[in-house]
């Protein structure tokens, strides 16, 4: 991926995929919130990745494709599964058992901030720019405004849980930068998504079996089972196909802007599906997030500069003619 590709504005299709991904991942907080009341964190994340792996293998079979066997690819899948699934899923789900979902969402929204720093340090083509820094600050502020003062007031309480969610956000940032290599390795998004969650399953399922002994747990309710299935199929299997598709063309920094959009998706879904009320702070937060995304994308600024240049040129022409 060259500098022009990594730093360019995203296309309309990439923005549409990013919005779809935000809806899928926005739903994951809701599904985890249901499941965590009946199942321990390790069991939830193990079920999430293993059921997603089964789903993706079925999709591969239907598509008439098979998984590659090169050791170098599976080593990369293992590293990606560790950074993008095993570590952050476990830390964030555990954190959600101790802190409110709103606080978790604010802390998770630091992912783009970590990403621009990690990408600047570890890549040659995704360097810090004034627009990116301003956009990240605006986006993070928008998330905080949208979620509200009640959640902000609990920051600093349950510090260990909050550091766990922040560590998960940092792990996501590292994964976004690491995952850029799959395009060069010739692994398409469906194959990469399948390899990642398969590697994650091999790590997490044995640990969950040893630690949680799920056969000793009470049978979860139909609601919890449905939440786990939705978490695996939509918020993991489908979401990671989109994730690697966007990463391959738009870069890590652009991809992980999705964490700004997740709270927006959650609130809009709450209004449309659950009949919740859209508050003034929600609209203010959305406006800040939109401003942040525009600053990072850069296109509105460039369009404004071009329009200003055209208008100034037209004025100069009129003045020249009037002389």
Evaluated on CA atoms 137, 101, 169, 241, the torsion sign reads negative
Give the chain's count of helices (H) and strands (E): 18, 0
Crossing angle for the helix pair 101-108 and 12-35, nearest 10 degrees?
Answer: 150
In angstroms, the CA 230 to CA 28 distance is 8
Residue pair 235/24 in contact (Cβ under 8 Å)? The answer is yes
Residues 6+ apart with CB under 8 A from 155: 103, 106, 162
CB atoms within 10 A of CB 269: 15
**Residue 46 confidence (pLDDT):** 94
Retrieve residue 183's tokens. 């395009």
In angstroms, the CA 29 to CA 20 distance is 15
The helix/strand/coil state of 228 is: helix
- Of all residues in the chain, what percent are helix, strand and coil, respectively (each to 5)? 80, 0, 20
Count of domains for the chain: 1
**Residue 254 confidence (pLDDT):** 78
175 φ/ψ angles, rounded to the nearest 5 degrees: -65, -40
**Residue 53 confidence (pLDDT):** 96
pLDDT tens for the chain, residues 1 to 323: 444 444 556 788 888 898 899 889 878 877 887 888 899 989 999 999 999 999 999 999 998 888 998 999 999 999 999 999 889 988 988 887 887 766 777 777 778 878 888 888 888 777 777 777 887 788 778 777 876 766 556 666 677 888 898 899 899 999 989 998 898 898 899 999 999 999 999 999 999 999 999 889 999 999 999 999 999 999 999 999 998 998 888 877 777 778 778 777 777 766 776 676 777 877 887 788 778 777 766 665 555 555 656 666 666 666 666 66
Residue pair 46/183 in contact (Cβ under 8 Å)? The answer is no
**Residue 39 confidence (pLDDT):** 92
Retrieve residue 128's tokens. 């810090």
Q: In which domain, by residue range, is 226 found?
A: 3-322
DSSP line for 31-81: HHHHHTTTS-HHHHHHHHHHHHHHHHHHHHHHTT------HHHHHHHHHHH
Nearest to 241 by CA among 59, 41, 108: 59
Residue pair 189/65 in contact (Cβ under 8 Å)? The answer is no
Kindly state the helix (H) or strand (E) to which residue 141 belongs, with its residue range. Answer: helix 130-147
**Residue 3 confidence (pLDDT):** 45
In angstroms, the CA 294 to CA 45 distance is 34
DSSP conformational letter for 9: P
């Amino acid at each position: 991926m060259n500098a022009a590709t990594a730093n360019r504005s995203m296309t309309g299709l990439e923005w549409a995929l990013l919005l779809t991904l935000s809806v899928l991942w926005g739903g994951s907080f809701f599904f985890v919130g249901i499941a965590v009341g009946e199942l321990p964190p390790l069991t939830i994340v193990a079920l999430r990745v293993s059921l997603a792996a089964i789903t993706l293998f079925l999709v591969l079979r239907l598509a008439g494709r098979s998984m590659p066997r090169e050791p170098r690819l599976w080593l990369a899948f293992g590293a990606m599964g560790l950074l993008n699934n095993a570590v952050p899923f476990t830390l964030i789900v555990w954190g959600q058992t101790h802190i409110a979902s709103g606080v978790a969402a604010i802390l998770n929204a630091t992912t783009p901030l970590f990403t621009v720093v990690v990408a600047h340090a570890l890549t040659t083509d995704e360097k810090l720019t004034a627009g990116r820094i301003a956009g990240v600050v605006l986006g993070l502020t928008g998330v905080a405004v949208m979620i509200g003062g009640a959640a902000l007031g609990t920051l600093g309480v349950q510090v260990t849980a909050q550091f766990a969610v922040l560590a998960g956000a940092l792990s996501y940032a590292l994964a976004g930068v690491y995952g850029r290599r799959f395009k060069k390795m010739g692994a398409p998004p469906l194959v990469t998504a399948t390899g990642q969650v398969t590697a994650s399953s091999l790590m997490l399922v044995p640990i969950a079996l040893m630690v949680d002994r799920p056969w000793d747990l009470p049978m979860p309710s139909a609601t919890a089972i449905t939440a786990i299935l939705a978490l695996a199929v939509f918020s993991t299997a489908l979401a990671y196909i989109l994730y690697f598709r966007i990463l391959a063309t738009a870069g890590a920094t652009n991809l992980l802007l999705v964490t700004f959009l997740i709270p927006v998706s959650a609130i809009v879904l709450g209004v449309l599906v659950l009949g919740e009320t859209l508050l003034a702070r929600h609209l203010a937060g959305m406006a800040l997030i939109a401003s942040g995304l525009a600053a990072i994308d850069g296109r509105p600024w460039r369009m404004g500069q071009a329009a200003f240049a055209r208008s100034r040129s037209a004025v100069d022409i009129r003045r020249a003619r009037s002389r």
